[in-house]
Structure 1
Amino acid sequence: MNKLGILAGTAAALATTVVAIPTADAHAQSIVLCSQTALRAAITQANAAPGPNTLLLAPGCTYNLTAPDNPGNGLPVITSDITITGSLLGTQNVIKRQSATAFRIFSVQGPNARLALNNLTVRDGRSDSSGGGGISNAGGALTLNSVEVTGNLADFSGAGGGIVSSGALTIRNSTVSFNRSTNNGGGLFSFGTTTISNTTVTGNTARDSGGGMDARGSLTLTNSRVTDNASDDAGGILSFALTGTITDTLIRGNTVAGDGAAGGGVLNRSGSTLTLERTTVFANRAITSGGQGAGIANGGAGDTVNLRNSSVSYNYARSAPGGILNDGGTVSLTATPVQENYPTNCSPSVIAGCTN
Structure 2
Amino acid sequence: MSKIRTLAGTVAALATVVALPVTDAHAQAVVLCSQTALRAAITQANAAPGPNTLFLTPGCTYNLTAPDNPGNGLPVVTSDITIVGSLLGTRNVIRRQSASAFRIFRVQGPNARLTLNSLTVRDGRSGSSGGGGILNDGGALTLNSVEVTRNLSDIGGVGAGIGSNSTLTLRNSTVSFNRSTNNGGGLYSSGTTTISNTTIAGNTAKDGGAGMEVRGSLTLTNSRVTDNAGGEDGGGILSFALTGTITDTLIQGNTIAGDGLVGGGIRNASGSTLTLERTTVFANRALGSGSQAGGISNVGAGSTVNLRNSSVSYNYAKAAPGGILNDGGTVSLTATSVEENYPTNCSPSAPAVAGCTN
TM-score by length of structure 1 reads: 0.96
Q: What is the aligned partner in structure 1 of residue 295 from structure 2? A: 295
| SS in structure 2 of the partner of residue 355 of structure 1 | coil
Letter aligned with residue 137 of structure 2: A
The offset of 1:338, in angstroms, is 0.3
Letter aligned with residue 35 of structure 1: S
Report if the CA contact (8 A) 2:273-2:304 is conserved: yes
In the aligned structure 1, how far is the partner of 2:271 from the partner of 2:258? 23
Output one character per residue of 1:84-108: Cα deviation in whole Å (capped at 9) or x when no partner.
0001121110000000000000000
In the aligned structure 1, how far is the partner of 2:168 from the partner of 2:141? 5
1:153 matched to 2:155? The reply is: no
In the aligned structure 1, how far is the partner of 2:44 from the partner of 2:186? 31
Report if the CA contact (8 A) 1:53-1:83 is conserved: yes
In the aligned structure 1, how far is the partner of 2:344 from the partner of 2:68? 54
1:265 matched to 2:274? The reply is: no
Report if the CA contact (8 A) 1:215-1:238 is conserved: yes
| SS in structure 2 of the partner of residue 44 of structure 1 | helix
Unaligned ranges ≥5, structure 1: 1-9
Output one character per residue of 1:154-173: Cα deviation in whole Å (capped at 9) or x when no partner.
00121000000011000000
1:49 matched to 2:51? The reply is: no
The offset of 1:261, in angstroms, is 5.1
1:348 matched to 2:349? The reply is: yes
Report if the CA contact (8 A) 1:261-1:286 is conserved: no
Report if the CA contact (8 A) 1:293-1:320 is conserved: yes
Report if the CA contact (8 A) 2:142-2:170 is conserved: yes
Report if the CA contact (8 A) 1:269-1:300 is conserved: yes
Letter aligned with residue 352 of structure 1: A
Percent identical among aligned pairs is: 80
Q: What is the aligned partner in structure 2 of residue 88 from structure 1? A: 87
Letter aligned with residue 234 of structure 1: G
The offset of 1:23, in angstroms, is 4.0
The offset of 1:19, in angstroms, is 1.1
TM-score by length of structure 2 reads: 0.95
In the aligned structure 1, how far is the partner of 2:36 from the partner of 2:263? 45
Report if the CA contact (8 A) 1:122-1:150 is conserved: yes
The offset of 1:288, in angstroms, is 1.7
Output one character per residue of 1:106-143: Cα deviation in whole Å (capped at 9) or x when no partner.
00001100000000000000002200000000010000
Q: What is the aligned partner in structure 2 of residue 5 from structure 1? A: none
Letter aligned with residue 341 of structure 1: N
1:60-139 equivalences under 5 Å are: 60-139=59-138
In the aligned structure 2, how far is the partner of 1:11 from the partner of 1:206? 43
In the aligned structure 1, how far is the partner of 2:176 from the partner of 2:124? 13
| SS in structure 1 of the partner of residue 290 of structure 2 | coil
Q: What is the aligned partner in structure 2 of residue 174 from structure 1? A: 173
Letter aligned with residue 313 of structure 1: S
| Structure 1 residue ranges, 4+ long, deviating more than 2 angstroms after superposition | 10-14
Output one character per residue of 1:262-304: Cα deviation in whole Å (capped at 9) or x when no partner.
1100000001000000000000000120111110000021100
Letter aligned with residue 339 of structure 1: E
| SS in structure 2 of the partner of residue 326 of structure 1 | strand
Unaligned ranges ≥5, structure 2: 1-10
| SS in structure 2 of the partner of residue 208 of structure 1 | coil
| SS in structure 2 of the partner of residue 297 of structure 1 | strand
Output one character per residue of 1:14-62: Cα deviation in whole Å (capped at 9) or x when no partner.
3xx1111114322100000000000000000000000000000000000
RMSD: 1.0
